[in-house]
Amino acid sequence: MGQPGDSPSDGFEALRELALNLRSVWNHRTDSLWERIDSVLWRETGNPWIVLQTASRARLRELWETHDFRSQVETLIERRRRALSEPRWFQREHAKSGVTSIAFFSMEYALSETLPMYSGGLGNVAGDYLKAASDLGVPLVGVGLLYEHGYFRQTIDATGSQRESFPINAATQLPLVPVRDADGAWMRVRLPRPGPPVWLRGWEARVGRVPLYLLDSNDPSNMPADRGITAQLYGGGEEIRLLQEMALGIGGWRLLRALGLQPEICHLNEGHAALLVLERARDFMRETGHSFDVALAATRAGNLFTTHTPVEAGFDRFAPDLAQAYLGAYAGEELGIPFEQLLGMGRSPSATAREPLNMAWLAARGSGAINAVSDRHEKVSRRIFQVLFQRWPEAEVPVGHVTNGVHVPSWDSSDADSLWTAACGEDRWVGQPEDLGRRISAVPDVDLWSFRSRARTAFVSFVRERLVNQLAASGVTDGALYAAGQVLDADALTLGFAKRFTEYKRPTLLLRDRERLARLLNDPQRRVQIVVAGKAHPRDEEGKAMIADWVQFARRADVRKNVVFLADYDLRLAERLVQGVDVWINTPRPPWEACGTSVMKVLVNGGLNLSSLDGWWSEAYRPEVGWAIPGDGASDQADATHLYELLERELIPAFYDRDVAGVPKRWVARMRASMASLTPVFSASRALREYAERYYLPAASEFGARRVDGAKGGVLLAEWERTMRQHWPALHFGDIEVRTEGGWHIFSVALYLDDADPDSVAVELYADGSGNSSTRVTMRRASPLVGAHGFTFTADVPDTRSAADYTPRAMPTRRGLNVPQEVELITWARS
């Protein structure tokens, strides 16, 4: 980079380096540069790349010749390069792990409004995950699709109804660059679809130190219809959806391999990427010359499947005929297996001929581990996935959990950042979080309350400006615009609700008794106000009707100064909401909320939560950190009543009960407890560290063991599994003998092994129980059976429970094998 006094330059290339890295989304040191170039465009778009491309070279040259501007750019580039190259948590803690690349596949990413490729919670989790990976130095690479239209934009018409528009995301205006090969050609991969070739182009976005590769089908050499495969996120019918999932799973892996990457771990963020497990196995077949069964046995150890779905009906399914039309030739010609085998991987064990291909089942069977996204969601998911493990107790269905978290630096206000920096230091979210609670707890009450009050004041100003602009675009009168500029009160208790408007989230629960709500809002001594936002899916008429309910309520003369519905809920609006509201209200019907990360985003900003006991709040809630709506969601009326009572009896009095200094001591105590105990725990940094140490590192080690020496481990495992499945149906127990003496039940049982290797079979006594109280006792192999291939197995258990509670069972066992995840076989002594 040139120095001041060098030959004339406009600094474009230097600024380009800053503009094309999305680290500026959460590290705002470069903001003043873009504002200085074009303050209006920067305020409207927040997109450095658009600002830079729009500016004239004369304007850039004028600034570049200014010493302070040029010096600032050079300092920022130096700092950024250092930040993106210096060792971070992963390099310090796991330098010897041998893990070089972890591929994260997701259908959507919510990183910034400058790259609008998301619709909701799944994208928010994925976007925050990439940012945390950059902060922690985890060698992650993201894979997704580039949508020409992304998700829709929302307006509200005169009747209060949602209207959708689908503006084009021009790739040249997004912070992306084409992926090019060593000769400079635009890198493309071919989708294995019958008929004319379908080419997918590669794009790259930089998320700090993490590359995100996106594929799109809008290649001029494709047929017109094929150019629209990636036109719209979750758009089109079943056929387009299948093609999108082929592009993500199959095309995504092919792009990584074309780039020379060979990740040890593949993380499937939902079942949309399920076809990846097949393509990764195909690639392994090509490299080693082994069969599909061997390739799958080797590679599945390196695949992790995260489910975010709380109901089985939410999984993607494709009719057998459609799946065969698009994947039949792929199965036979590229995987070397009958299509029925591929289809069977995505079906239940007792499938009928018309059962569809379930992408969650396919992802599960092709992965070494499955995890849910909260403790409660783990239990829900075990119930859902039990269909794949039918003879196993629900508590042993192999689904673990890592509770989601949010990328805290993306959601804190500048005031919150200053507060936390002063208390805890600049790198607080990168290291271990244990000490943060103690430090933030030391902030005086008056400082916490002043911080919260400033946030509310700034939020009220923002809402007024946004509402005026929203109404002006719909052509209302000057009087209505004036009134919009007077809504809300900077000193009033401010509630927020912003979600996807769909039935299970119950966004109109607060409206069950509108008159009671109106009285609550209009108390002249203890005023309450609420800001609402959210979109309904274009085909969800019920969700649209709930939006109209809120809009119409907000237009009532008696509450319109206290209730605001803000249209076009997106990341920029979400950011202001979570920074400004005092309380975030969340009302999902349990157990339909898998996690609920939107609710976590208020924590760092001193906001409190009032939520149903579902998702993450089930494990986070304590009376000293917020409020909970009790119950199982069976009665909306009962839950609404609880909601009103909590507001009337607890929240509002706590907010308005002030000491002589004007500080609400009870409220601030909850703020402090929430900030100190919840913010560090429910962060994406904590979640990613947990993923790395619980899943990635063990999986990488096992995958390495299966692929070395010409994939000898994979070969032996595939042969072993084939043999076990062949002999298992004949494996059976004989009579059980039990005697009780000296306080012990002494069990003895014969197990007939057919021709199975006795070292490959584990035998246990199992006694059922509630929750985690089930008992498993390993039985010892004793004497061989006379006249048959088998053994007597024995075990002693205390007689504190009845001997009739215990049942012998047998299951396969092998070092490094995840049972029952990889091999679901099990035999019980009693059917």
Q: State the DSSP string of 765-819.
A: EEE--STT--EEEEPEEEEEPTTSSEEEEEEEEETTS-GGGEEEEEEE--TT--T
The owner of tokens 């309520």 is 553
**Collapsed DSSP state (helix, strand, coil) of residue 237:** coil
Cα(737)–Cα(815) distance, integer angstroms: 30
Read off the pLDDT of residues 609-644 as tens digits, 9 standing for 90 and up. Answer: 999 999 999 999 999 999 999 888 889 999 999 999
For 447, the token pair is 């400082």
Query: Which is it for strands 608-612 and 153-156: parallel, antiparallel or unpaired?
Result: unpaired
Q: How far is CA 676 from the centre of its chain?
A: 24
The owner of tokens 């595939």 is 718
Q: Over the chain, what is the mean pLDDT? A: 94
- Find residue 75's DSSP bridge partners: none
Percent of the chain with pLDDT over 70: 98
* Amino acid sitting at position 471: L
Read off the pLDDT of residues 710-752 as tens digits, 9 standing for 90 and up. Answer: 999 999 999 999 999 999 999 999 999 999 999 999 999 999 9
**Collapsed DSSP state (helix, strand, coil) of residue 552:** helix
Of the candidates 528, 463, 523, the one whose C-alpha atom is nearest the C-alpha of residue 493 is 528
Output DSSP code: residue 214: E
pLDDT on residue 831: 47
pLDDT on residue 83: 86
pLDDT on residue 172: 86
Q: Which residue has the higher pLDDT, 10 or 698?
A: 698
Read off the pLDDT of residues 131-162 as tens digits, 9 standing for 90 and up. Answer: 999 999 999 999 999 999 878 899 999 889 99
Of the candidates 207, 189, 335, the one whose C-alpha atom is nearest the C-alpha of residue 256 is 189
Asked, as a colleague might, if the bond just before 808 is cis with ω within 30 of 0, I would say no
Residue 694 in this model has a pLDDT that exceeds 60: yes
The owner of tokens 């899916």 is 537
- On whether the CB atoms of residues 305 and 364 are closer than 8 A, the answer is yes
Residue 667 in this model has a pLDDT that exceeds 70: yes
Residue 3 in this model has a pLDDT that exceeds 80: no
Read off the pLDDT of residues 538-558 as tens digits, 9 standing for 90 and up. Answer: 999 999 999 999 999 999 999
Domains and CATH numbers, the chain: 12-85 (no CATH), 89-404+693-703 (3.40.50.2000), 434-675 (3.40.50.2000), 731-828 (2.60.40.10)
pTM of the entire predicted model? 0.95
| 525: exposed, middle or buried (Cβ count in 10 Å: 0-12, 13-18, 19+) | exposed
pLDDT on residue 6: 39
- Length of the chain equals 831
Question: What confidence tier does 437 reach under pLDDT thresholds 50, 70, 90?
Answer: confident
- On whether the CB atoms of residues 267 and 104 are closer than 8 A, the answer is yes
Task: Please name the residues in contact with 47: beta carbons below 8 A apart, sequence gap of 6 or more.
Answer: 113, 114, 173, 175
**In 368-507, alpha helices (H):** 375-385, 408-411, 414-424, 436-441, 445-472, 478-484
Read off the pLDDT of residues 775-813 as tens digits, 9 standing for 90 and up. Answer: 999 999 999 999 999 999 999 999 999 999 999 999 999
Of the candidates 454, 307, 455, the one whose C-alpha atom is nearest the C-alpha of residue 379 is 307
Output DSSP code: residue 206: E
* Amino acid sitting at position 415: D
Q: Residues 328-361, buried b or exposed e (16+ Cβ, 10 A)?
A: bebbeebbebebeebbbbbbeeebeeebbbbbbb
Of the candidates 358, 364, 357, 366, the one whose C-alpha atom is nearest the C-alpha of residue 322 is 357
Q: Which of 72-81, 318-327, 468-477, 590-599 has the lowest mean pLDDT?
A: 468-477
Asked, as a colleague might, if the bond just before 197 is cis with ω within 30 of 0, I would say no
For 427, the token pair is 């790198």
pLDDT on residue 427: 82
* Amino acid sitting at position 90: F
CA distances from 195 to 326, 571, 582 (A): 10, 40, 57
Question: What confidence tier does 433 reach under pLDDT thresholds 50, 70, 90?
Answer: low
Phi, psi of 310 (to 5 degrees): -90, -5
Which of 42-51, 426-435, 527-536 is modeled with the greatest confidence?
527-536
pLDDT on residue 123: 95
Q: Strands, DSSP E only, in 455-562? A: 493-498, 528-533
Of the candidates 685, 690, 602, 695, the one whose C-alpha atom is nearest the C-alpha of residue 130 is 685
Which of 305-309, 475-479, 799-803 is modeled with the greatest confidence?
305-309
For 788, the token pair is 């048959």
Question: What confidence tier does 431 reach under pLDDT thresholds 50, 70, 90?
Answer: low
Percent of the chain with pLDDT over 90: 88
Read off the pLDDT of residues 74-94 as tens digits, 9 standing for 90 and up. Answer: 999 999 999 888 999 999 999
For 414, the token pair is 């500048």
Q: Strands, DSSP E only, in 150-248? A: 153-156, 162-165, 177-178, 188-191, 198-207, 210-216
- On whether the CB atoms of residues 306 and 268 are closer than 8 A, the answer is yes
745: enclosing H helix or E strand? strand 744-752
Of the candidates 661, 510, 477, 522, the one whose C-alpha atom is nearest the C-alpha of residue 583 is 510
Phi, psi of 624 (to 5 degrees): -80, -5
Question: What confidence tier does 518 reach under pLDDT thresholds 50, 70, 90?
Answer: very high
Cα(261)–Cα(434) distance, integer angstroms: 36
